[in-house]
Amino acid sequence: MGMAKKQNRQKFTHLLIIAAILFGVIIIFSRSTTLSEWYMQHIYPAVAIILSTLSGLFPFSLYDLFILVASLYLIVLILFLIFRKTSFKKFLYSLIRFVTMLVVWFYFAWGISYFREDFYAKSDLKETTFDAENLKKFVIRFVADANEAYVDFDVMDRAGVRQDLEESYHALHEKLGIDYPNGKRRAKPMLFESLYSKMGVSGYFGPFFNEIHVNNYSLDTTYPFTLAHEMAHQFGIAHESEANLYAFIVCMQSEDERIRYSAYLLTLLYLVNDAAEFLPEEVDSLTSAIRPEIIADLRRNREHWLAVRNRSLSEVQDKAYDAYLKTNKVSSGRENYSEVVGLLISSYDTFIKK
């Protein structure tokens, strides 16, 4: 009996040491953009190929299934403890082992991308000052370009969109500072699409198995930009603002006018939000220049999602994702999506040919 206790104590000690070392390594990565950049350029591409090839063998989402199984495992662990089917020490051992595996898998499968250099460091672009005057000039220019890009359409070949965007990423990967192919890209359906729709989730990237998900409830007018955004994540672009920027640039590379318009349509929302915040007295006059057909598309998209939205679920999802982003050194949380405007102001002339 004494020998068994000693072995269990040693086993627990070994687990704590291994967990401490692994968490220590992750902390080192989080404090070194150079080390993180090296990992994402030299190790992650191989990881992405292995994981995406494995997940590509299955037509359903391994990520969604994994989250479900992991959640059930935690619930069972807690219930076993509550009903005294296991001791507290065994519960704690299982919990620490499980959390360590989860965290290490997340970061070394993709999560280290949160600690990389930002877009300006990777592209050598100089950041343009984000002030009211520069924002106003850019909104005027962007609205004019969006008006010119408008095209009326309802139906798209979604498989064709994926191929088109893949070709754009291939053509632009050196200019964008990303490795190619960085895995295999296949847009998977969500296992719990109805639930995600109620939360207003149009797409997400599953890091554990390197999977792209796009909500099939999305309208065809928004699908290309959403897919391009999730593809950017698979290329190791973690920050939402940068993923939005990459998606916009890649959509602009397309010969398909519908894909280009999709990028203008969704990005316009971020500009309008910023104009309302930083140019409150001029926002009405600035947005009045948007052609009515675009306003109609934006309204249709909003009503489309509001029709299925569950306010409570949506707010919980927003708060949870905000906390998740802030935990991973994205200090602005969900507001990071809107920071694409500053990136566009600095890079529009470089990447968008007019």
Which residues, including other chains, have CB under 8 Å from residue 180's CB and lie 6 or more apart? 169, 170, 173, 235
Q: Which of 345, 278, 339 is nearest to 138 (CA)?
A: 345
CA 171 to chain CA mean position, Å: 22
> What distance in Å separates the CA atoms of residue 302 and residue 305, rounded to the nearest whole number?
5
Q: What is the pLDDT along the chain (354 residues), one digit of tens a residue?
A: 567 777 888 999 999 999 999 999 999 999 999 999 999 999 999 999 999 999 999 999 999 999 999 999 999 999 999 998 889 999 999 999 999 999 999 999 999 999 999 999 988 889 999 999 999 999 999 999 999 999 998 889 999 999 999 999 999 999 998 999 999 999 999 999 999 999 999 999 999 999 999 999 999 999 999 999 999 999 999 999 999 999 999 999 999 999 999 999 999 999 999 999 999 999 999 999 999 999 999 999 999 999 999 999 999 998 998 898 888 878 887 887 779 999 999 999 999 865
CA 247 to chain CA mean position, Å: 11
Q: What is the DSSP letter of 205?
A: E
Domain residue spans of the chain: 2-115, 119-351
Strand order across the 203-206 sheet: 187-188, 211-214, 203-206
